[in-house]
Amino acid sequence: MTDNNKKRIWTSRIISALWGGLLGAITGTAISSALARVIKSDWLRILFVNGLDIKVPYVSSSLGYFNLSFGFGIRLTLLSALLGVTSILLLLLVRFKNE
């Protein structure tokens, strides 16, 4: 394998690992929200459901007939962190067929 080919493979692996980590974090947050209705114990709720809210403030603009708004927010929980890190490690360490 040439150096250029190895560099291309690692670049695509890192990009896919970052996307996989984001998808794992979003999936973990969704599962934590679903578990919030089931978990009755307070210490389990604190461990799995409560998390850190990361938000970019909403910016909106209005021209009377046209409204435009931007914003982003995600809640990071223990489960979302575990799924995000697990998916990043799997995508970085597992060899794929075309490599």
Q: In this predicted model, what pLDDT tens digit does every residue of 73-84 receive, in sequence order?
A: 878 888 888 999
Please report, for residues 67, 68, 69, the alpha-carbon distance to residue 64 in angstroms, rounded to integers and kept in the order given: 7, 11, 13
Task: Tell me: pLDDT of 28 over 80.
Answer: yes
Phi-psi region of 72 (alpha: psi -120 to 50; beta: other; left: phi over 0): beta
Find all residues with CB under 8 Å of 5, minimum gap 6, and list them: none
Question: In Å, what is the CA distance from 37 to each residue of 34, 44, 52, 55, 89?
Answer: 6, 12, 19, 23, 30
Q: What is the pTM of this model?
A: 0.69
Confidence of residue 1 (pLDDT cuts 50, 70, 90): low
Residues above pLDDT 70, as percent of the chain:
95
The label of the residue with tokens 């007939």 reads 65
Q: Tell me, what's the pLDDT at 98?
A: 65
